[in-house]
């Protein structure tokens, strides 16, 4: 489910580096899921949509539910954490995660059933308890989450009250002025001026699907003329290298040639790596840069106490760079491995 709780879970998990997949019968939330960094799992089922006027998902057809369960069974074998938030007003929470799905999950996996108070979305859920299955999967069915997080609950409640008072006292004079044009104030008002105003009129919270705009004829693009900048810079580089080669010693020229080749090869290697792997790449680069430890080792024992002390410090710092770089790299690369 990709309601308020689901989207919050997607954002939190994504910020921690997780690969997040989300499903909802309401096709309109696909863009919201993707904007939070998640991947929307869509069923190719003839465009059947679970959106309703109250913001909750409606009951789907039996064929849709069958295809939905097959998708969940496949995902259960791959994921480590499942968070369920599916609710239907006035009805028990739908059972979306069967015992067979849980039994197929890896040991140590976790299921957080946010719908436990309504019976739960998982067949293993025990409302109010933490249940551990025979294969080591933890199913969290706590129904008193606000009580378990008192600081966060109090802060959120206090924030809501402050914002409500700001909304109702726009003049900041301490006098409450209820505005029935505001949906929030209208829906929470029971009696106004001696008149019962409850229940409030129904509101539609689901965005109506917009018709695709008529495609405008594409303007003719002018063919881009090939730029001569690359040739100019290339010619300048070759000329500079030739000048250095004519005046520099032979020993320097060999080192300079290796340096130029390293720059070219390094540039293409780095930019051809997937963006997701840039952080591990930088980490292992730090480890490789620890090669300076060789130079420090050569300076140890040269006779000077100062040189030896500085060389020892260089060896120590470079060693930390080497071991730390490789350790962090391995930890990050494990996040991209699929068991």
Give pLDDT, residue 328. Answer: 79
Give the pLDDT mean for 91-102: 92
pLDDT at 108: 94
pLDDT of residue 142 exceeding 90: yes
> Hey, what are 114's tokens?
């946010």
CA-based Rg of the chain, rounded to a whole angstrom? 31
Q: How many Å apart are CA 228 and CA 234, to the nearest integer?
A: 10
pLDDT at 229 over 70: yes
Residue 300 confidence (pLDDT): 82
Segment 98-116, tens digit of pLDDT: 999 999 999 999 999 999 9
pLDDT over threshold 80, residue 278: no
CA distances from 192 to 166, 187, 198 (A): 19, 12, 10
Residue 21 β-bridge partners: 39
Average model confidence (pLDDT) across the chain:
82
pLDDT of the residue at 45: 63
| pLDDT over threshold 80, residue 211 | no
Query: Residue 56: phi, psi to the nearest 5?
Result: -95, 165
Strand ranges inside the chain, DSSP E: 21-22, 39-40, 81-84, 110-113, 130-132, 138-140, 191-192, 195-196
* Percent of the chain at pLDDT exceeding 90: 28
The pLDDT value recorded for residue 79 is 94
How many angstroms separate the CA atoms of 308 and 286, rounded?
24
Give dist(CA 72, CA 61) in Å, integer.
16
* Dist. CA 89–CA 322, nearest whole Å: 57
pTM of the predicted model, to two decimals? Answer: 0.54
Residue 316: per-residue pLDDT: 87
Q: Which residue has the higher pLDDT, 231 or 74?
A: 74
Q: Give the bridge partners for 131, in sequence order.
A: 139
Average pLDDT of the residues in 208-227: 57
Q: Is the pLDDT of residue 214 over 70?
A: no
Residue range 253-261: average pLDDT? 81
Cβ pair 280, 332 in contact under 8 A:
yes
Q: Which of 23-27, 29-33, 110-114 has the lowest mean pLDDT?
A: 23-27
pLDDT tens by residue, 159-168: 999 999 888 8
Predicted confidence band of residue 228 (pLDDT cuts 50, 70, 90): confident
> What is residue 100's predicted lDDT score, i.e. its pLDDT?
95
Q: Do the beta carbons of residue 89 and residue 117 sit within 8 Å?
A: no
Q: How many angstroms separate the Cα of 289 from the Cα of each of 275, 292, 299, 320?
A: 21, 7, 18, 11
pLDDT digits (tens, 9 = 90+) for 262-272: 888 877 777 77
């Amino acid at each position: 489910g990709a309601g308020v709780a689901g989207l919050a879970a997607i954002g939190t998990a994504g910020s921690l580096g997780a690969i997040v997949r989300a499903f909802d019968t309401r096709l309109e939330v696909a863009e919201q899921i993707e904007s939070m960094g998640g991947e929307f799992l869509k069923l190719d089922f003839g465009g059947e949509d679970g959106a309703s006027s109250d913001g909750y998902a409606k009951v789907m057809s039996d064929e849709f539910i069958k295809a939905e369960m097959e998708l969940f069974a496949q995902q259960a074998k791959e994921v480590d954490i499942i968070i369920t938030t599916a609710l239907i007003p006035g009805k028990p929470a739908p059972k979306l995660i069967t015992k067979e799905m849980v039994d197929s999950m890896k040991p140590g996996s976790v299921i957080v059933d946010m719908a436990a108070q309504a019976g739960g979305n998982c067949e293993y859920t025990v409302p109010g308890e933490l249940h551990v299955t025979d294969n080591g999967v933890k199913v969290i069915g706590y129904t008193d989450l606000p009580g378990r997080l008192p600081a966060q609950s109090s802060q959120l409640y206090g924030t809501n009250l402050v914002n409500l008072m700001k909304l109702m006292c726009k003049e900041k004079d301490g006098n409450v002025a209820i505005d029935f044009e505001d949906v929030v104030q209208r829906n929470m008002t029971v009696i106004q001026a001696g008149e019962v105003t409850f229940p409030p009129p129904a509101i539609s919270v689901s965005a109506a699907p917009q018709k695709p705009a008529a495609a405008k004829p594409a303007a003719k693009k002018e063919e881009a003329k090939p730029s001569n900048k690359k040739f100019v810079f290339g010619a300048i580089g070759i000329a500079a290298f030739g000048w250095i080669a004519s005046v520099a010693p032979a020993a320097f020229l060999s080192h300079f040639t290796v340096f130029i080749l390293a720059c070219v090869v390094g540039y293409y290697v780095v930019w051809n790596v997937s963006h997701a792997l840039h952080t591990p790449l930088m980490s292992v680069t730090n480890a490789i840069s620890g090669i300076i430890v060789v130079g420090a080792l050569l300076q140890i024992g040269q006779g000077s106490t100062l040189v030896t002390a500085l060389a020892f410090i260089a060896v120590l710092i470079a060693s930390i760079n080497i071991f730390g770089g490789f350790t962090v790299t391995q930890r990050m690369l494990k996040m991209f491995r699929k068991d």
